[in-house]
């Protein structure tokens, strides 16, 4: 299968590496000059625990790719998705399936502007990865992938083929009957931990141990659940709370990606696609979302204070 990974940061490199190792025909597409240069010069370096592997893998800027592909796997940050799809439209032909594995909410609306609905596959993954330096990806841990075609009549067969391809690569993929639920559930976990840890400059255990955490977390979950229902996604609020608190206990020492992006690396965050999406949709639906709205404003304020790029 000819696969383009659109957005070859940490996760794009992980998926590109694993799929190439499994024999797929993969190209990476990215815009970070130092990263592209390093991969072209030294190959993609992949660090997993004590071992480092080097993989020769083609990497291009969006304007350099022209050959049509069977599947595009999008792995940009949320705010770059539309721009990336616009820039790579030359490789998306009428049957190319485009898979979205980004964190966050509302990406199906962005995808629809660039890709016919029959070719959109939505997904979610709990694999993780990091970047140690340009051209050097850090793996570790294990994960799963869930995908589902937006229009099952036209997209399910190829999505199931892609599940098989991912499984050959060890990605633990499955075809989901309700991927939006899984996407919202993960976003709700991120919505309680990411911004709170970034604003408070603390890890998950430190935040969840405070006497005020429960009131904040419970209200954020309530707002996510209410807006999800209006988006046609049914989430049981009590179950979601249980899920979030159980998850928080397993990763107490972890600094979520928004903390890493904002506080450690002074990069823009995906807040508009987490709490910000809930606040925006809440306003449209007439649902009060005061905590999500304020958290979004505080993160944007911090982005400005830190003069992020």
Radius of gyration of the chain (CA): 19
**Binders in 234-263 for ligand NAD, by CB under 6 A:** 257
Closest among 145, 127, 129, 165 to 25, alpha carbons compared: 165
**Residue 34 or 283 having the CB closest to ligand NAD:** 34
C-alpha 111, offset from chain centre: 14
Which tokens hold the place of 234? 């049914």
Smallest gap from residue 108 Cβ to ligand NAD (A): 14
CB-closest chain residue to ligand NAD: 9
Tell me which of 16, 19, 28, 35 binds ligand NAD, using CB under 6 A: 35
**Residue 96 or 103 having the CB closest to ligand NAD:** 103
Closest among 285, 301, 261 to 80, alpha carbons compared: 261
Smallest gap from residue 134 Cβ to ligand NAD (A): 7
Tell me which of 4, 5, 7, 145 binds ligand NAD, using CB under 6 A: 7
Tell me which of 5, 27, 30, 136 binds ligand NAD, using CB under 6 A: 30
Instruction: Single out the catalytic residue among 186, 241, 280, 302.
Output: 186
Tell me which of 20, 45, 96, 103 binds ligand NAD, using CB under 6 A: 103
State the Cα–Cα distance between residues 192 and 52, nearest whole angstrom. Answer: 34
Smallest gap from residue 262 Cβ to ligand NAD (A): 12
Q: Is 234 a catalytic residue?
A: no
**Residue 226 or 299 having the CB closest to ligand NAD:** 299
**Residue 8 or 263 having the CB closest to ligand NAD:** 8
Q: Total residues contacting ligand NAD (rule CB under 6 A)?
A: 23
Contact call for residue 308 and ligand NAD (CB under 6 A): no
DSSP for 39-55 reads: HHHH-EEEEETTEEEEE
Contact call for residue 188 and ligand NAD (CB under 6 A): no
**How big, in percent rounded to 5, are the helix, strand and coil portions of the chain?**
50, 15, 30
Contact call for residue 303 and ligand NAD (CB under 6 A): no
Applying CB under 6 A, the span of 7-15, 89-97, 208-216, 299-307 interacting with ligand NAD comes to 7-15
Residue 130 CA: distances (Å) to CA of 141, 147, 160, 209: 11, 22, 28, 27
Contact call for residue 110 and ligand NAD (CB under 6 A): no
3-class SS at 3?
Answer: strand
3-class SS at 301?
Answer: helix
Applying CB under 6 A, the span of 54-62, 72-80, 173-181, 201-209 interacting with ligand NAD comes to 72-80
Closest among 276, 280, 266 to 309, alpha carbons compared: 266
Helix (H) or strand (E) holding 60: strand 59-60
State the Cα–Cα distance between residues 93 and 91, nearest whole angstrom. Answer: 6
Report H helices in 117-151. Answer: none
Residue 53 CA: distances (Å) to CA of 27, 142, 241, 271: 18, 18, 40, 34
Smallest gap from residue 131 Cβ to ligand NAD (A): 5
Binding site for ligand NAD (CB under 6 A): 7-12, 30-32, 35, 75-78, 102-104, 125, 128-129, 131, 257, 270
Q: Which residues are catalytic?
A: 186
């Amino acid at each position: 299968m000819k696969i383009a990974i659109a957005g070859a940061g940490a996760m794009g490199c992980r998926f590109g590496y694993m799929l190439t190792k499994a024999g797929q025909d993969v190209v990476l597409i990215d815009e970070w000059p130092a990263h592209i240069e390093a991969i072209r010069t030294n190959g993609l370096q992949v660090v997993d625990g004590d071992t480092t592997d080097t993989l020769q893998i083609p990497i291009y800027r969006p304007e350099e790719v022209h050959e049509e592909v069977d599947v595009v796997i999008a792995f940009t940050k949320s705010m770059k998705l539309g721009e990336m799809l616009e820039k790579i439209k030359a490789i998306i032909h009428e049957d190319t399936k485009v898979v979205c594995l980004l964190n966050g909410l509302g990406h199906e609306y962005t995808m629809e502007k660039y890709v016919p609905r029959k070719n959109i596959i939505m997904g979610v993954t709990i694999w993780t990865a990091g970047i140690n330096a340009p051209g050097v990806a850090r793996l570790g841990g294990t994960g799963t992938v869930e995908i589902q075609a937006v229009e099952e009549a036209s997209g399910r067969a190829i999505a199931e083929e892609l599940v098989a391809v991912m499984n050959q690569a060890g990605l633990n993929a499955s075809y989901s009957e309700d991927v939006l639920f899984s996407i919202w559930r993960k976003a709700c976990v991120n919505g309680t931990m990411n911004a709170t840890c970034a604003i408070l400059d603390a890890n998950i255990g430190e935040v969840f141990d405070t006497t005020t955490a429960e009131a904040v977390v419970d209200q954020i979950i309530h707002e996510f659940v209410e807006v999800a229902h209006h988006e046609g996604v049914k989430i049981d609020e009590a179950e979601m709370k249980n899920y979030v608190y159980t998850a928080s206990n397993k990763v107490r020492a972890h600094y979520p990606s928004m903390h890493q992006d904002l506080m450690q690396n002074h990069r823009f965050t995906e807040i508009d696609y987490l709490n910000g999406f809930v606040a925006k949709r809440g306003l449209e639906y007439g649902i009060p979302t005061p905590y999500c709205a304020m958290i979004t404003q505080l993160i944007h304020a911090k982005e400005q204070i830190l003069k992020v790029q």
